[in-house]
Amino acid sequence: MTSKEISNGIIRAVLTLVGIALICYFVYQISAVLTYIIISLILTLIGNPIVRFLKRKLKFKNTIAVIMTLFLFSLVIIGFILLFVPLLISQGESLSLLNTAEMEKDFNSLLLQMNEYLANHNIDAQRLYEKSGIGTAFKMTFISDFLNSFINTLSSFGVGIASVFFITFFLLKDKNMFNLIFKWMLPDEHEDKIIASIDKTNELLSRYFIGILLQLFIIFILYLIVLLIFGVQNAVIIAFLCAILNIIPYVGPLIGTCLAVILTMIGNLGGDFISETLPTSLYVMIGFFVIQLIDNNLSQPIIFSNSVKSHPLEIFLIILIGGYLFGIIGMVFAVPLYTVLKVVGKEFIPENKIVQILTKDI
């Protein structure tokens, strides 16, 4: 190998790295636009069955069916805003969710009451607490940070809602045109397989996201019933926040249960700790665990088995791997990405024995 070839190779490598860096920078700069597109794609997957129903059963024209579908989405969003935003604004102060200092004060008061209760049972919790260093490692800021980021996300989504609906409208309305353009770009030898993969993926992911929405609604109702039964203050907000956390598989429900117990205790600080606060918190925790048993054994198996045609153990391992590789984001998107890979594998390497086993129900 000559020095000229080596220098050319170095130059190509440098240019490649520079190109990758520029692409990453460009993607970072347009991250908001990519977010709108991703949200629009999810809404499109959810909206496709509705559009098909309106066109086939009610004989709507394509454009009218798309407009009616977006109108339904708008009603859901407006209902969400009218129901939850006033509650968050009016009750946020009483919950001290956005006031870190006040919440830490209430939490410390709660710890003192717990310490007094344990001391009466000959348990020196204060010494164990100081030795463990929990006081320095555990701060209530994570709750306020989560809620602040959640509200900021809602605000950002409000700013981009017009863009999302605009993109979604054309994705639904001009679906056939986009398919033709996409088919024109595909190599002829793989066109049929790619189109079949996309159609099957759209079908599975549409059912998956609709199932997720149904699951979250059921979980919200069950959480709300438990909180109302035990007279927990701000039950609607707590149930809603804990239901949203269920989007994160397996870890989200645990975080939601801990959050519900903490907020239940803080909401009952005015009462007697032994006779009111502690029993109510335990009942809420037990109720939430029962709901998770129902969800894990009924809701999730139905969604995963019937929507993406995967065994619950298979899904658990995929979510676990996604979490180890990419954290919470990996856990959230593990199932959709795995579904796409399964469909592609079945179309392009159907003779592979592993692919045959994993895709036998697709």
> Domain extents for the chain?
1-95+140-185
Q: What is the pLDDT of residue 68?
A: 92
Query: Which residue has tokens 């665990």?
Result: 289
**How far is it, in rounded angstroms, from Cα 103 to Cα 259?**
13
pLDDT tens-digit readout, 70-90: 999 888 878 776 766 665 555
**Could you give the C-alpha distances from 119 to 16, 123, 127, 186, 269, in angstroms and in order?**
66, 5, 11, 72, 19
Q: What is the pLDDT of residue 137?
A: 43
Residues comprising the chain, all counted: 362
Helix ranges, the chain (H): 3-29, 31-56, 62-95, 100-119, 125-132, 134-137, 141-173, 175-185, 191-229, 235-245, 251-267, 278-294, 300-307, 312-348, 353-358
Instruction: Please list, in sequence order, all residues whose beta carbon lies within 8 angstroms of the beta carbon of residue 324, skipping any fewer than 6 positions away.
Output: 330
CB < 8 Å & 24+ apart, contacts of 323-332: 323/251, 328/248, 328/251, 331/248, 331/249, 331/250, 331/251, 332/247, 332/248, 332/249
CB 330 within 8 A of CB 316: no
Q: What is the pLDDT of residue 71?
A: 92
**How far is it, in rounded angstroms, from Cα 82 to Cα 307?**
31
Task: Tell me 189's DSSP state.
Answer: G
Task: Tell me 60's DSSP state.
Answer: -
**How far is it, in rounded angstroms, from Cα 22 to Cα 26?**
6
CB 193 within 8 A of CB 265: no
Q: What is the pLDDT of residue 153?
A: 58
Q: 84: exposed, middle or buried (C-beta count within 10 Å: 0-12, 13-18, 19+)?
A: middle
With both helix axes pointing from N to C terminus, report the angle between 312-348 and 191-229 in degrees, rounded to the nearest 10: 160
CB 295 within 8 A of CB 253: yes
**How far is it, in rounded angstroms, from Cα 341 to Cα 197?**
9
Q: What is the pLDDT of residue 22?
A: 92
**Could you give the C-alpha distances from 12 to 15, 21, 166, 191, in angstroms and in order?**
5, 14, 41, 32
Query: Residue 233, CB half-sphere, CA atoms under 13 Å: how many?
Result: 19
**Other Cβ atoms within 10 Å of 133 Cβ, number:** 9
Residue-level pLDDT, tens digit, the chain, 362 residues:
577 677 777 888 888 889 999 998 888 888 878 888 888 888 888 888 888 889 888 888 988 999 999 999 888 878 776 766 665 555 554 544 445 555 556 666 666 766 676 667 666 655 655 555 544 444 545 555 555 555 555 555 566 788 888 888 988 888 777 777 766 766 767 777 777 787 788 888 888 888 888 888 889 999 999 999 988 877 888 888 888 888 887 788 888 888 888 888 777 666 666 777 788 888 999 999 999 888 877 777 677 777 777 877 888 888 888 888 888 788 888 888 888 888 888 888 888 888 888 787 77
pLDDT tens-digit readout, 300-340: 767 777 777 787 788 888 888 888 888 878 888 888 888 88
